[in-house]
Each structure stands twice: as C-alpha cells, then as structure tokens.
Amino acid sequence: MVSRADYQRLPGHGSAELDATGTVRVVPHDPLPPDPFAGDPEDPSMALGDQEFEQDQQLGDEERAELLSDLADLAVYQALLEPRGIRGIVVDCSDCGEPHYHDWELLRSSLEQLLNDGRMRPHEPAYEPNPGHYVSWEYCRGFADGVIETEDQRSR
C-alpha cells in the first residue's frame, strides 16, 4: 500500500485526497500524460522529420466562442444522457470513413485541449466500444431540445 505522503509526491497527484484507508477519493484530471521525450535531443521521433505543430496557435474569437458553447452543450448532453446509459458521442471520421467513439471525459479533454493549445493531440480509440452506448452530436442536440420543449409545456 502506498502511503499518503508517497502518493502526494507522485507527479500529478499532489491535490488528490486519500481517506483514512489510503483509498483515493479525488483524482486530479490531467488530459494527457507528459511527453517522456520532451526536450530530449535523442528523441526517437526526430527521425520522422520536423512534424511539429506551431506552438501556441491562437484561436479566433469566433472559434473560441464556438468551443466554449460546445463544452457547455457537452455538459448538458452528458447530464441528460449518461443516466440513460449513453457513454459518449460517436463521430464519423471524414479521413478514414470509420466511426470514432468518444467517452464524455475524452471528448471534454479534447475540446479543452483545442481551446487551450489550438490543436488536439492524437488519443487512443475506445477499446471494443458498444455502438449502442454512443450517439451523435445531432442526436444529443435533438434530445436536449425535446427535454426543454417538454419542460416548457409542463410549466404552462
């Protein structure tokens, strides 16, 4: 068993809370692990050539507003659909033609990273996702609109 002091010294875990038995109660959310080769002149990916994206890409005001709106919508969609067994959103990829399944937290992390960094890094796809547990963004929007309309009718 790891002691509270040992756990607190682990990278990225300084703000985690442990109960008296040493069980983690709150784990901080870090969207991506640190790059193990950051700043290493012997980085093996250097053999692939200079494929670095521009650092600190700036989003326009309109793009930033759209991302903030998407994040707000995502929170609503998750609140409405997660209790019904929906695990996230499916997106049809225009590059590969395959559906990509994003759990709520993965999509939130990706949107936040786009908002903060101006780009999204690649991520691991869902492992053997059940397509019945994912819906499209359009489905989420329609479901939320239906809930709002129903509530409006009830309040009249």
Q: Beta partners for 103?
A: 88
Q: How far is CA 71 from the centre of its chain?
A: 10
Q: Are 5 and 22 in contact (CB under 8 A)?
A: no
- SS3 assignment, position 15: coil
Taking the CA atoms of residue 148, residue 149, residue 153 and residue 154 in that order, the dihedral angle to the nearest 10 degrees is -30
- pTM attached to this predicted model: 0.62
In this model, does residue 60 exceed pLDDT 80?
yes
pLDDT number for residue 50: 54
pLDDT number for residue 27: 44
Measured between alpha carbons, how far is residue 84 from residues 134, 142, 143 in Å? 11, 15, 12
Write the pLDDT tens digit of every residue in 64-94.
Answer: 999 999 999 999 999 999 999 999 999 998 8
How many other CB atoms are found less than 10 A from the CB of residue 22?
12
In this model, does residue 107 exceed pLDDT 70?
yes
In this model, does residue 40 exceed pLDDT 90?
no
Tell whether the torsion through CA atoms of 136, 93, 104 and 131 is positive or negative: positive
Tell whether the torsion through CA atoms of 118, 12, 87 and 145 is positive or negative: negative
pLDDT number for residue 23: 52
The CA distance from 64 to 83, in Å, is 29
**How high is the mean pLDDT of the chain?**
78
